[in-house]
Amino acid sequence: MSQSEAFEISLESLKLGYPQKGMSGWSSDFEISLNIQAPAFICLIGPNGAGKSTLLKTLGGFIEPISGKIAYNGTNIHDLSYKRLATQRSFLKAESWRPAWTQAYDWVAQGRSPYLGWSGKLTKKDHKVIDESLELVNAAHLKAVEVDSCSDGEFQRLNIARSLSQQCPLLLLDEAMAHLDVTQRVEIISRLKDYTRAQNRITIISIHDLALAFEYADQIFCVQQPSIFECGTADELIQRNCISQVFDSEAVKFDVESGQFRHIQ
């Protein structure tokens, strides 16, 4: 895979949320202002309903922020054409529709859509990128298998490969470790981090496994809508008591010394 040129995301007074329409609307009390330069491997953590998916969708330009600005290399993402945006960021949803009668190779090849001409024909370069993406997630043996016959874990690896084949400088992954077993989660997150560094990318992945986030993330974004957004290394967030503030409950507490959650008797 070709290495990406220098890439930066700038967030200026970014406020997340949805218009207040009935009880379902919400907006964050916090505003995010920061710059992220490639390479960066970032884990996004927070409990269910914390706003992780909303943040990823906002960063990808799928929903507009309540206020503020997102720029890729200095250009507001809402000034980019859809085709240009599709070459700048790829987005893996937490749940993906699984088509029938589609081979894994063809499913992963859909990531090349932004680069195809009017004929839609794959070039040698496209095939090379697809093969490399399948290899990276250890799924090359699945290329001739129909996706509706794959296990949930196999299909998840194919979804990651499809995002990788899009070859964007920004990779947004929502719950990419879902459906993977313990060894696969370690293997995939390690490979994704190596890929991020080697190809000079920015990867932001939402994850529930805090141990993996603590071990592999360059930076961690910790979010709990509507009022909490913290960023830093694992040690910094622990020392600032962010983990306890976001995850502690009456029954479970985060122990700073061990870095583990403890059940309260």
Are 3 and 68 in the same domain?
A: yes
Are 132 and 225 in the same domain?
A: no
**Alpha carbon of residue 90 to chain centroid:** 9
Domain finish residue from 137, 167, 197: 167
Number of separate domains in the chain: 2
Per residue of the chain (265 residues), give pLDDT as tens: 667 789 999 999 999 998 765 556 788 999 999 999 999 999 999 999 899 999 999 999 999 999 999 999 999 999 999 999 999 999 999 887 888 899 999 999 999 999 997 778 999 999 999 999 999 999 999 999 999 999 999 999 999 999 999 999 999 999 999 889 999 999 999 999 999 999 999 999 999 999 999 999 999 999 998 899 999 999 999 889 899 899 988 888 887 777 778 888 6
Cα separation, 44 vs 57, whole angstroms: 13
3 state SS of 262: strand
Domain finish residue from 147, 167, 187: 167
Domain finish residue from 167, 192, 218: 167
Cβ-based burial of 173 (10 A; exposed 0-12, middle 13-18, buried ≥19): buried
**Alpha carbon of residue 125 to chain centroid:** 25
3 state SS of 226: coil
Q: What is the pLDDT of residue 1?
A: 66
> 22 in the Ramachandran plot: left (φ > 0), alpha (ψ -120 to 50) or beta?
left
DSSP state of 149: G
CATH at residue 215: 3.40.50.300
Describe the strand order of the beta sheet including 228-232 as a list of residue ranges.
89-92, 170-174, 202-206, 40-45, 219-224, 228-232
Q: What is the pLDDT of residue 251?
A: 85
Instruction: Identify the CA nearest to 204 among candidates 221, 182, 179.
Output: 221
Are 173 and 72 in the same domain?
A: yes
Q: What is the pLDDT of residue 2?
A: 65
Could you list the residue range(s) of the whole structural domain that residue 228 is in?
Answer: 1-88+169-265
Residue tagged 């220098």 (tokens): 6
pTM of the model: 0.94
